[in-house]
Amino acid sequence: TTLYGVVRHPTALAEGPFPLVLALHGNHGNCRSPSDPTDDFCSTSEDHECALPGQLTAPNAEGYDYLLDTLAAQGYVTVSISGNAMNCREDYILERARLVIEHLRRWSDWQAGAGDLGGLFAGTLDLGRVGLVGHSRGGDAVSNVPQLLAETPIAGLQVVSVFAVAPTDFHDVVVRDTNLAVLLPSCDGDVSNLMGHRHYDRSVGSFDGVEQAQVLYVGANHNLDRKSVV
């Protein structure tokens, strides 16, 4: 698939290095009708862009702009990854996790001064403090990243925290040697069995030196619409 993401960063990059945070959305539609921008639908693709003629690309990665802006203002380089090409398919959790890892490899190159964005981000990132945030299948994916990354590590890069929001649980993941937080929404009409609690249950207490927490957010729905969780 194409590698597409939305980036926000502190304006004074020379004051870094700054921690890096990557976010990954869930399994939403990847196409949108020009006549009804509120109704997303699916088209299987190998691209970030919607493959149907005359239709718009659902801006799933852009949905986290408010979160990226908030974190960037507090001194983080933040990225919202598009998983559009992984959406509208059954499972594809591990493919999503590998997509996150490929983005991390690109950021490692840019930190080293290589590639298209090396001139902007060289020496500005603290890759020893990488955080991952994911929602739904994206939450399942980011929980799988530490174990997959351990099999093919990126020199100098360490994922130190995972925040899984309303995650699915397709592959019995255990989050190893990484700080973990799981958020479960009490009004989840999609993952209604709150299967994401298993991430925490399998991981808690198994590893020394990391923090592990789980929160049930009363009144929150699955899609984390800001108006409905306040």
221 near 189, Cβ under 8 Å?
yes
Q: How far apart are CA 184 and CA 205, in angstroms?
A: 19
Please compute the mean of the pLDDT values over residues 9-19 and round it to a whole number: 96
What integer pLDDT is reported at residue 224 of this predicted model?
56
Name the percent of the chain lying above pLDDT 90: 88
Q: How far apart are CA 85 and CA 208, in angstroms?
A: 37
What integer pLDDT is reported at residue 37 of this predicted model?
78
Residue 222 CB contacts under 8 Å (≥ 6 apart), including other chains: 136, 166, 185, 187, 188, 189, 190, 191
| Residue 177 burial (C-beta neighbours within 10 Å; 0-12, 13-18, 19+) | middle
**DSSP symbol at 13:** G
Q: How far apart are CA 20 and CA 13, in angstroms?
A: 12
What integer pLDDT is reported at residue 206 of this predicted model?
83
Torsion sign (Cα): 187, 66, 169, 45: positive
What integer pLDDT is reported at residue 225 of this predicted model?
53
Cis before 17 (ω within 30): yes
pTM of the model as a whole: 0.94
Q: How far apart are CA 65 and CA 79, in angstroms?
A: 9
What DSSP letter does each residue of 50-113 carry, written as one string?
--STT-EEP-TGGGGHHHHHHHHHTT-EEEEE--GGGSSSS--HHHHHHHHHHHHHHHHHHHTT
Q: State the DSSP H helix or E strand holding residue 199, giving kind and residue range, or none if neither.
A: helix 197-203
Q: 79-125: per-residue pLDDT in tens?
A: 999 999 999 999 999 999 999 999 999 999 999 999 999 999 999 99
Paired sense of beta strands 56-57 and 77-81, if any: unpaired
pLDDT at 72 over 60: yes
